[in-house]
Amino acid sequence: MPLPAFTLDSTDGPRAFPTGRAALLCFVKEDCPTCGLSMPLIEAAHRAFSGEVDVLIVGQDAEGNAVLVERHGMTAPVLDDSALRVSFAYDLDTVPTVILAGPTGEERTRFVGFGRDDWRHLMASLAEASGLREPAVDWDAYPESRPGCGSKSVEPGMAERLEAEASGSPLRARRIEIAAQDDEFEFMFDQGLTDGLPVVPPTPERVLRMLRGTRRDAQEVVAVVPPNMAPATTEKIAINAVMAGCRPEYLPVVIAAVEAVCTDTFNAHGVMATTMGAAPVLVVNGPVRHRIGMNMGLGVLGQGNRANATIGRALMLVLRNVGGAKPGGTERSTFGSPTKYTMAFAEWEERSPWTPLHVERGFRAEQSVVTAFGMTGGPHLIVDQTSRSARALGGSIAVGLESAAHPKAHRYGDVLLVVGPEHLNTLTRDGYTTKEQLRARVQEVTARPMADLVADDDVGGGGAPASLTSEQRARLVPKFEAPERINIVVAGADAGKWSAFFAGWTTGPGGTIPTSRIIEE
């Protein structure tokens, strides 16, 4: 197969390859000592064989090329590959790389770095093929071998940029060019591409690096994102993951989260549009938690952990930038919520004897799973530093949960309860060996006569109708529609006798249902 053809500017005008006769391609860069060692031999080959062989020096830096010419008195043409596209096309790892090609561009000989015997054999073969005299070289003045230097085309960030520019790039998203003096961060603010905080510019090389975090095809449609019902490809999710500050290994979690929320069951349009200020809250289970370094302990619901912060943020940016859920448009939250920036955390499965969330939801323990909840508020702290029995502490947690939305709002939908390790110790030490026991206690303590749930002149907001029969008024109604609506995970620091909860938005048709997806690593 012929080598890639190219045309580059040189010290004596544009030069094209193949040349129609034998050619010696020498890839070099100025700051490589081994390239400098090779330059006199390249020049000697040019002076001896230029009548029959085109000697082309392909330099990787325009300014460095000029230095090479002056330093070594080069008369051989030096071609400018400072864009590195030719070096990338030739798949170079190291310079110098010397390639002897035939008239139609077929490769005949190649060597990398410096080898005295390589050069001696090359000079002899050029002399034999051309019928010209081999140049006089003091071979004893040269070392037997020297390793080369890394090609500029494989420097960090450069390889990704070159791959993105290559014809086979997986990227298809529209590129936006900005002026050289524009501030890219301010530009993205001006274009409405941020959540109010700065985002990382999604350059082609960064997006390609992000895409390496998944085996999915860049153009696979992962989900259709409401409210605009816009297709979210793997590439577009990767772009927003870059903007959010994710690492490539987080991308599978973000993809699974997008899959989860862009379903009829989760109803992302309703979650994002409600005036109650709902937002997705993500809980991650399984081995991926440790592989990507998610926080499940100290400060689990707060700042400071890159994976937690950026995974949730990437999801929200996808809903904003792909789906079009923006404040003032379809996003009509009365107050908003910090969870509309980000909220993702991991369950501390190893700290708890209870069944992990994803196993409760039908997955295997060894699977990595993300579960999305549509939550309107939180985290709300439940403080109990004095209870020493499971019954008392369960009662405290129950009355704390009863405040979700409104204390009189019973038959409530979903809540996400995060039990802290110190509270867990109290509960399990006193016999609560399962989450079901805590759920039952919550339902028991929060069961109120329906008469107490009617709005009156003293306390409004009731969820029960005013006209009730005596039997109906006495009927006990627990806080939650069903025990399984109390979603329980364990997380947080070992110190602190607290738990926390997120109150859910409307559950069922027209509302939202917690939705889980396997994370494909």
State whether 220 and 158 are in the same domain.
Answer: no
User: How far is it between the farthest Cα atoms of the chain?
Assistant: 117
State whether 107 and 201 are in the same domain.
Answer: no
CA distance 237 to 251: 8
State whether 161 and 193 are in the same domain.
Answer: no
Q: Exposed, middle or buried: residue 431 (CB in 10 Å: 0-12, 13-18, 19+)?
A: exposed
CA distance 285 to 345: 9
State whether 231 and 122 are in the same domain.
Answer: no
State whether 340 and 475 are in the same domain.
Answer: yes
State whether 109 and 228 are in the same domain.
Answer: no
CA distance 223 to 255: 9
State whether 159 and 188 are in the same domain.
Answer: no
pLDDT per residue rounded down to tens, the chain (521 residues): 799 999 999 988 899 999 999 999 999 999 999 999 999 999 999 999 999 999 999 999 999 999 999 999 999 999 999 999 999 999 999 999 999 999 999 999 999 999 999 999 999 999 999 999 999 999 999 999 999 999 999 987 788 778 877 767 888 888 888 888 899 999 999 999 999 999 999 999 899 999 999 999 999 999 999 999 999 999 999 999 999 999 999 999 999 999 999 999 999 999 999 999 999 999 999 999 999 999 999 999 999 999 999 999 999 999 999 999 999 999 999 999 999 999 999 999 999 999 999 999 999 999 999 999 999 988 999 999 999 999 999 999 999 999 999 999 999 999 999 999 999 999 999 999 999 999 999 999 999 999 999 988 889 987 778 788 889 899 999 999 999 999 999 999 999 999 999 999 998 778 999 999 999 98
CATH number at residue 115: 3.40.30.10
Distances (CA, A) of 249 to 211, 288, 309, 316: 9, 9, 14, 18
- Does residue 354 fall inside a structural domain? yes
State whether 392 and 247 are in the same domain.
Answer: yes
- Does residue 441 fall inside a structural domain? yes
- Does residue 175 fall inside a structural domain? no
- Does residue 173 fall inside a structural domain? no
Cβ proximity of 480 and 463 under 8 Å? no
State whether 134 and 280 are in the same domain.
Answer: no
Domain endpoint, select from 102, 130, 165 = 165
CA distance 505 to 132: 86
- Does residue 177 fall inside a structural domain? no
CA distance 281 to 266: 11
CA angle 80, 85, 91 (to 5 degrees): 115
Please tell me the total count of domains within the chain. Answer: 2
Residue count (the chain): 521
| Sign of the Cα pseudo-torsion (327, 330, 335, 339, in order) | negative
State whether 161 and 188 are in the same domain.
Answer: no
- Does residue 170 fall inside a structural domain? no
- Does residue 176 fall inside a structural domain? no
- Does residue 171 fall inside a structural domain? no
Domain of residue 418: give its range: 184-518
State whether 217 and 117 are in the same domain.
Answer: no
State whether 20 and 110 are in the same domain.
Answer: yes
